[in-house]
Amino acid sequence: MAAESEVASSVLGWISIACWIIVYSPQILENYQLQSGEGLSLLFVYVWLLGDLCNLVGAVMGELLPTVILLGLYYTVCDSILLLQVYYYRAKRRRATAISSLDTEDFPTEASHLLDTSAISNHASRLDSMKKRTLRYAAAVIFVIGAGVMAYFISDSLSNGTESPHSQKKEALDWKIQIIGWTSAVSYLGARIPQILKNLKTRCEGLSPALFLFAIMGNITYALSICVASTDREYLIKNASWLAGSALTVFLDILVLGQFFYYGLFPKNTEALSGGVMSTEST
């Protein structure tokens, strides 16, 4: 039974890693396609970066596997890319505005582009778009799960049964790492709040739902990988910060997906959108 729980924990851990490897890609691509990062709340990315830095420091202090440390470094690099995109596209837009001789009202800003696009959409097309997106994401989820399972078998065959990256974290906790873990958990939870509030203004325009979909999957599988390995009280207390950081953020990410669903079904309030998008550079 113990062996089965270890296998299940390892498989879930590798699926979680697969989710986190690709979680940033959809948003980075979305920003590139829109030539704008205004769908993101800067505070959301900065606080998320703080959480990832805490994870990286905890991995180094705990002397975890190089794979875990490299993943932590990868997360911080991706956070930095998102921030660079926001500032780069803002600077690019300001330069374009400065050299333009057009009147401000006629300039094709991000807000006017979004409003023009929404003007020609209707309820049926929105539903059709949501169905296609749902099918696309379902296929991506199946692929990621398959990749995680395959990664487990490859790792298991190469390591001859040694512990997975996630299981290594369980034995490396001391009070310093506990503090870092709780700081990381609070950061991940707090990061979602400014993004949720910003979505009320921008109606999720410029934001990729895949970012939150794979974050939900990554957090659920990670939390399960801890719980499946053992339900011993002392063990769960040691991992409480990691469980809290993973499990509790799921509810906030589900709320964000709910915002996507709501704003995808109902027509945009153009007045609210105009005020929201035009003021996004301050958040």
pLDDT of residue 209 exceeding 70: yes
Distance from C-alpha of 183 to C-alpha of 206, rounded to nearest angstrom: 29
Identity of the amino acid at 256: V
**pLDDT at residue 200 in the model:** 94
**pLDDT at residue 46 in the model:** 96
**pLDDT at residue 127 in the model:** 61
- Section 84-99 average pLDDT: 90
Position 7 confidence tier, pLDDT thresholds 50, 70, 90: confident
For 68, half-sphere exposure in the C-beta direction (CA atoms, 13 angstrom radius) is 22
What's the chain's length in residues?
A: 283
Greater confidence, 215 or 283?
A: 215
Greater confidence, 277 or 126?
A: 126
Quote the percentage of the chain above a pLDDT of 90: 32
**pLDDT tens figures, 101-121:** 555 455 455 444 444 444 444
pLDDT of residue 135 exceeding 80: no
pLDDT of residue 210 exceeding 80: yes
Greater confidence, 275 or 82?
A: 82
Supply the pTM of this predicted model. Answer: 0.76
**pLDDT tens figures, 231-246:** 788 878 877 887 888 8
**pLDDT at residue 168 in the model:** 47
**pLDDT tens figures, 15-50:** 888 888 889 999 999 999 999 999 999 999 999 999
Q: Measure Cα distances from 237 to 61, 143, 176, 244 in Å.
A: 19, 33, 15, 11
CB 28 within 8 A of CB 58: no
Greater confidence, 121 or 174?
A: 174
- The count of other CB atoms within 10 Å of the CB of residue 213 is 23
